[in-house]
Structure 1
């Protein structure tokens, strides 16, 4: 008989209990005075608060990240791993602290499992600067990010680094880095918003043009792309980093704008004819445009949709919002860039955006606009 699975706890709560009841006492005893930070940040649905009981089937469970100075990580990281393997409890609130690799090569995720021996745990000591560089391509403990650093950091990565929970930060370096990355500086925010409006302007007329030539499927596909861009724009307007596709809808649902916008966005997605699709999109365009005006970043722009150069379909002409935002830029480097945006406004590969090679991200960023 398979034992009953323990009651689900949000992963961040499980990580907090792991730290307070199991990891901290070991560190206090074996490494008194060692400066470190303990947190659950980075990859994982629990970091963004989207984990459910389903999450427990892979790479979820009692997990913790320990952040150390470079010399301390080199000197003590391995010893901490070995010590915790021997001294951690076998389970926390019924959830095993031991993880086994999957036997299936097509399923590389680790799974919780009972053990009688040492615990193959998921408490990882990191060199904090090296971890940040690996995750985002920049060590935000050392300095404020520059413009080029921001352009190369995916918004999913920024959400994961600044989300989650910090349970202890003796040195304060992790807290400093998270504060520096918490939101785009004003000039970057203006640029990213301009680029997001520009994305919409590039395709908003295609919904009607596809329908006009009898391409109902193409019209629906373009509408879906525009809905995604409006959701991402709404997150940016409320100072949130849009996560990658799996959690975009969940993150959007938490916005102040979500209740009013969702019916129009769903209407655009579910419409079976072009007139209804157009009505829903135009309602969404106008609502987001009004929110853009409310930021006060530029003089207000008329949010009403209008015809596309005399053709028989309505659009926002979203470039009307992109241009004044771009004109408001005072940073000379940003003023000289095309409106292509940060890396995940022009790159869509999950492998790139979720990968752990920060240098690859920097190289990708450098490939656009002479960065």
Structure 2
């Protein structure tokens, strides 16, 4: 059984009947969101050695949290079974400690936690409301954290606020999306010729390293064009393979990985860029005519990525986003985990970068 289903049953069989007895008047939402491979449905036997087991997050209003949460956590500790469906409910080998804060509380003895939605948003995104988010705030949200908030599962939602927040964060606003696409083309434009140049001087390892970076850029562009959030590195390839565009890109990317000669490597990548351009044109956004050919007078196959940058940026309607430098969102300029996982630091970095 995968973790989402285990936690769903744990809520239905254990947590909800208990809450109905001890606090029948308490409106709440119940979910499993925030972290864990089970949120993506990708947990397996290996996943069970950490951060895995029956887990439920109960969301309360701020007043209800103050009135009920800490007492209920303590009371559940006294009555909770030691295991559920053969799985221990305690915090075994979990790097993520039980919730503990002004509006979040849990216990090491079990996987039941109480939160306010405001506190979860603050922890996850450095905001306390999803209303009226600015473009800079959106650009400061790591895609892997957006994915963790909008996947997982909601088991119960009395007032609908949790599901409403998840729906509002479901994907980037259109102009933010276009900006990210333009910036992703910029990344490709900056390095696409280096696969050939490094290989030309006999640096095959360097050519392969640049090709690997560009393969990752192509994959992340695939997520953008399919309007899907990209996960953290561990699951990037697995999730990419499920995208509609992956069938068109995978043969070229595999050829680029396996090619023993730099020109074949560069040609395969150029074919992948063309597929991205075709998909972008199919979507009817920022059409441009892809042209593949030598890089100026050098024998390196490249695409007219600068035209893709310009046409995509020109399609942006929001004048505030139009004025931003074509640098990128948070996870387009850094893949450093401590930065991506620190919401307040993420926001400060993007404000400093783009303001």
Q: Establish whether TM, by shorter chain, passes 0.5.
A: yes
CA distance in 1, matches of 2:42, 2:220: 17
The residue that corresponds to 1:176 in the other structure is 164
In the alignment, structure 1 residue 63 sits paired with structure 2 residue 55: yes
CA distance in 2, matches of 1:270, 1:180: 41
The residue that corresponds to 2:347 in the other structure is 362
Q: Is the 8 A contact 2:291 2:304 kept in 1?
A: no
1:324-359 per-position Cα deviation (integer Å, ceiling 9, x unaligned): 111111212111111112111101101111x2x422
Q: Is the 8 A contact 1:208 1:313 kept in 2?
A: yes
CA distance in 1, matches of 2:242, 2:93: 35
How many pairs align? 347
The residue that corresponds to 1:83 in the other structure is 75
Structure 2: runs of 5 or more not aligned: 99-106
CA distance in 2, matches of 1:84, 1:39: 17
SS in 1 for 2:354: coil
Q: Is the 8 A contact 1:47 1:164 kept in 2?
A: yes
CA distance in 1, matches of 2:64, 2:154: 19
The residue that corresponds to 1:128 in the other structure is 117
Counterpart pick for 2:24 among 25, 32, 37: 32
Instruction: Measure how far apart 1:119 and its partner are.
Output: 7.2
Which segment is superposed worse, 200-209 or 273-282?
273-282
Instruction: Measure how far apart 1:260 and its partner are.
Output: 2.4
CA distance in 2, matches of 1:57, 1:110: 15
The residue that corresponds to 1:21 in the other structure is 13
Q: Is the 8 A contact 1:86 1:119 kept in 2?
A: no
Instruction: Measure how far apart 1:303 and its partner are.
Output: 2.4
In the alignment, structure 1 residue 48 sits paired with structure 2 residue 40: yes
Q: Is the 8 A contact 1:137 1:152 kept in 2?
A: no
SS in 2 for 1:23: helix
1:72-130 per-position Cα deviation (integer Å, ceiling 9, x unaligned): 2222111121122122222221111122457xxxxx4679xxxxxx9701211111101
Q: Is the 8 A contact 2:290 2:304 kept in 1?
A: no
Structure 1: runs of 5 or more not aligned: 1-8, 103-107, 112-117
Q: Is the 8 A contact 1:210 1:219 kept in 2?
A: yes
CA distance in 2, matches of 1:101, 1:280: 43
Instruction: Measure how far apart 1:316 and its partner are.
Output: 0.9
Counterpart pick for 2:233 among 226, 230, 245: 245
Instruction: Measure how far apart 1:176 and its partner are.
Output: 1.1
